Chain A
Amino acid sequence: DVKVTQSSRYLVKRTGEKVFLECVQDMDHENMFWYRQDPGLGLRLIYFSYDVKMKEKGDIPEGYSVSREKKERFSLILESASTNQTSMYLCASSLSGEMNSPLHFGNGTRLTVT
């Protein structure tokens, strides 16, 4: 089975801090994704990556950046955390070169910014 591991289940950070969310997948998937999940808004795509060192903006990239130095690892960076970035963050990966293959999700990181 595919395993997508997010390094933290819960994080509490202060406004203005730089925050790193880490994600690792163990199935040699090309594609990796970062979503945030909020009540009433569903899943919204922040950034994704089709390959090492490649990144593409999703629907809500503002206030975020990403890093993919190795195929198995995709990091989400909040340059200066704000309270409106309090959310559940979900990392996902998929095999194919296109997005029309199932995404496999991690268990999420619940981030609270105070």
Chain B
Amino acid sequence: GESVGLHLPTLSVQEGDNSIINCAYSNSASDYFIWYKQESGKGPQFIIDIRSNMDKRQGQRVTVLLNKTVKHLSLQIAATQPGDSAVYFCAEFSSTGANSKLTFGKGITLSVRP
């Protein structure tokens, strides 16, 4: 199987419960954030994004919260399903002068117990 999940922290949740996946970002100048889901054997899949002029954004069964004061991003998944089992990682975009950079976190493995 994929080795991308090795050495990553793991969050284990019961099917049907809500999941909260957290991400601390490093650059206070970052103004755009993305959550990705990566299932075994597949590439990262876009879930939801948020810009720094917002503190909350909702999608289908997912909510992203942004706290710029403490540089914290979270992904909430409602009624977690077995198909949600995957590695989740956040990405932050920052632009300083002529340099733009998208930085990915290392990821968290979500494991859903039946």
Report B-chain residues with C-beta under 8 Å of the C-beta of A100. 31-32, 51, 93, 95, 100, 102
**Given A42-B106, A88-B2, A104-B46, 16 extra CB contacts under 8 A:** A4-B43, A43-B44, A43-B104, A90-B43, A90-B44, A92-B43, A99-B100, A99-B102, A100-B32, A100-B95, A100-B102, A102-B49, A105-B43, A107-B42, A108-B42, A108-B43
Hey, which bits of chain A sit against chain B, CB under 8 A?
4, 37, 39-43, 45, 88, 90, 92, 98-100, 102-108
Contact A102 B34 (CB under 8 A): yes
Partner of B41 from A42, A90, A104, A107 at Cβ < 8 Å: A107
Contact A99 B101 (CB under 8 A): yes
Hey, which bits of chain B sit against chain A, CB under 8 A?
2-4, 6-7, 31-32, 34, 36, 41-46, 49, 51, 89, 91, 93, 95, 100-102, 104-107
Q: How far is the CA of A45 from the CA of B100 in the complex (A)?
A: 12
A8 → chain B closest CB, angstroms: 13
B25 → chain A closest CB, angstroms: 13
28 interchain pairs, CB-CB under 8 A? A39-B3, A39-B6, A40-B7, A42-B89, A42-B105, A42-B106, A42-B107, A43-B44, A43-B89, A43-B104, A90-B43, A90-B44, A92-B43, A98-B95, A99-B101, A99-B102, A100-B31, A100-B32, A100-B102, A102-B49, A103-B44, A103-B46, A103-B91, A105-B36, A105-B44, A105-B45, A106-B43, A107-B43
> Sorted from nearest, which 6 A-B pairs have the closest CB atoms?
A105-B43, A100-B32, A43-B104, A42-B106, A39-B6, A102-B46
